[in-house]
Chains A and B, each alone.
Chain A
Amino acid sequence: MILTDAEKAMLDGARGPAHRKAMELLIRYGEALGAERFVETRNVATVTTVTNPIVRKVALEHGMDGVFSRFNLDSDEIVPTPTFDAPACQLIHGIYRTEAREFGVAEDAIRLHDESEQYFGRRGLQMLSTCTPYQVGNVPTLGEHCAWMESSAVVYCNSVLGGRTNTEGRESTSAAAVTGRIPYWGLHVPENRTGDLLFRAEIDVESMRDWGLFGYYVGEIAEDGIPVLDGVRTTPNLPRLKHFGASAASSGGVELFHIPGVTPEAPNLGSALRRGGTETHAYGAAERRLAYDRLNSGASDPNVDFIMLGCPHDSIEQVWEAARLLDGKRISANVNLWIHAPRAIKEVADRSGYTAIIESAGARLLSDTCPAISRAVPKGAKVVATDSAKQAHYLPAIVLGTQAWFGSLEECVNAALTGRWAGEAP
């Protein structure tokens, strides 16, 4: 790779051992990709989570510098963690911190978690602790080079905001936080950002469930291509675009999509599509049904015991919609209902009285993590219902022995009230 003088100095150790190790990793990674140079970034979203048992063991033996060296810089040599060159935020965390003791998290895991927040926070890391940093203050600008991980955040950053990031990983984002560099490759390059698959919606795509199913179908076909969505007749809001991207990044690896007339890099259909051959796919009632059936194919027991809302983490309006449906009601004694939102949004929900409505109904408003990431589900939970295509896709592979129903928010809340899944296919 071609290095600038500043990058050579980092590699030579002029900025200290962590910058050297970070630059070494970025070069190994850049060469693996076939990149020729780096681009500067001042917007990083990474993780420093220490709750995984393998990471925790390193934390107990070698402290936070051991964790950061081994798992964030892929360095066997343990180097002191420096103040980060680039502004960086923590994505979703590993435990429900506020409820950790109630949920049975081990004391040493809680202690290490708290220590890690302070340790990395004091080196510049912002503890947003959510998969949706763009809902709580980190909103990339059009054309801004970012180094983000979290597939649902990456696709939102690229598609809805016009920021430029590949789907980075824990090690590359942390090396980017230290150095302010990331390989100039893939979606950093403007020519690589035009669409190569066209999906024509032949049915209305309006509700949250519609957008999740559309994304799930598109992702499975597009894999890591760049889909362009035509025929969408209503302008989707933040939660709908968030759900579409998260779904398409779960069934496939979609990192960027365009909706002509809606998303910023696609003023019209012509400018969204790559010149030359693009394959066209119709999205009609049969395709929507296929996505629905695939998502629900692992579920058979209608007796639900756990309802999960807020994957990716809810916006404040989504928390309010759930609260409205629960207002004055009481969920079934056999069911747990967990709603997830960033902690900054939970603060707004607390102040606005939404949390009180949710808790009066016997449900919970939780922050910092989710069942799939923390592997924490209510004791004995076997049959899950969720309004998230992503969570329905992943949870049965992570919390083994669970089955997951996917449906609308209303269907999920009804299931919480009755204890029975009565979702209907579209």
Chain B
Amino acid sequence: MTTIVLRGRCVVPGTAAGKALVSREAISGWGGMDFNTGVITERRHPLHGESFAGRVLVFVGAKGSSGWSHYFNLARHAGVAPKAMIFNRMSTKVALGAVVSRVPAITELDADPLSVIETGDWVEIDAGQGLVTVTKAAVR
């Protein structure tokens, strides 16, 4: 079993584990996802039709409307928030969105998580310790 350990900076403390959903494109909140299901609805997005509910969302960053945090807050109320967030590009949208989603979140990893982690990999995150452990799906 191949496991890879990444280290980064804590955004929201906490621990979680789950299957990864990876997006090289930025994700929209309001106007880009359905807060009742967690499904990406943006017309030209590579993850169009996929749900982040219960998965570890690994993504480049947030984009679009300032309704980002409110929509992830609503997704939490609807029980479809991601399990955790791992992202590259810090912004007010993604920081506040991670805070109000109340899920472990981490950024500034020592290797590009978009290259290391693929959709379907098993990811364990201990945000307070700045640790991400990836078990590759292909060799599990």
- Residues of A that sit less than 8 Å from B by CB: 25, 28-29, 32-34, 47, 52, 54-55, 70-71, 74, 149-151, 154, 166-172, 185-186, 223-224, 249-250, 252-253, 294, 297-298, 372, 393-394, 396-398, 400
Chain B, residue nearest A186 (CB): B92
**CB-based nearest B residue for A249:** B64
Separation of A54 and B78 alpha carbons in the complex (Å): 8
Interface membership of B129, Cβ < 8 A: no
Collect the chain A residues with CB atoms within 8 Å of residue B26's CB.
223, 253
Chain A residue with Cβ nearest B42: A397
Give CA–CA (A269, B51) in the complex, Å. 44
Asked if B125 CB lies within 8 Å of chain A CBs, one says no
- A172 and B44 alpha carbons, distance in the complex (Å): 30
**Separation of A253 and B65 alpha carbons in the complex (Å):** 8
Contact of B70 with A34 in the complex, beta carbons under 8 Å: no
A33's contact among B61, B92, B100, by CB below 8 Å, is which? B92
Asked whether, in the complex, the Cβ of A170 is within 8 Å of the Cβ of B69, the reply is yes
For the complex formed, measure the closest distance between the CB of B73 and the CB atoms of chain A, giving whole angstroms: 6
Taking A54-B35, A150-B66, A253-B26 as contacts, is the C-beta distance between A168 and B96 under 8 angstroms?
yes
Is the Cβ of B96 less than 8 Å from the Cβ of A172? yes
Measured between beta carbons, the chain A residues less than 8 angstroms from B65 are 151, 250, 394
Residues of B within 8 A of A52 (CB): 74
> Of A29, A154, A252, A393, which contacts B96 at CB under 8 A?
A29
A168:B92 contact, CB within 8 angstroms: yes
A-B contact count (CB 8 A): 108
A168 CA / B91 CA spacing, docked (Å): 10
CB atoms of A253 and B63 under 8 A apart: yes
Could you jot down 17 A-B contacts, CB within 8 Å?
A28-B12, A33-B90, A154-B66, A169-B93, A169-B100, A170-B67, A171-B69, A171-B70, A171-B100, A185-B92, A186-B92, A223-B26, A253-B61, A297-B44, A393-B31, A394-B65, A398-B41
B68 within 8 A of A: yes
Provide the bound-state CA to CA distance between A166 and B12, in Å: 20
Bound form: Cα–Cα A52–B64 in Å: 20
Cβ-defined contact, A28 with B99, below 8 A: yes
Interchain residue pairs A-B with the least CB separation, the first 7:
A169-B69, A149-B66, A32-B95, A394-B31, A166-B92, A170-B70, A253-B63
Interface centre among A169, A171, A253, A396 (most CB of B within 10 A): A169
Contact (Cβ within 8 A) A398 B43: no
Bound-state Cα–Cα, A96 to B62, Å: 29
Q: A34 — which chain B residues lie within 8 A by C-beta?
A: 9, 90
Chain B residue at minimum C-beta to C-beta distance from A298: B43
Whether a CB of chain A sits under 8 angstroms from the CB of B32 is yes
- Min CB gap A123→B, angstroms: 20
CA distance A23 to B78 in the complex (A): 26
B132 within 8 A of A: no
Q: Which of B43, B91, B96 contacts A171 (CB 8 A)?
A: B96
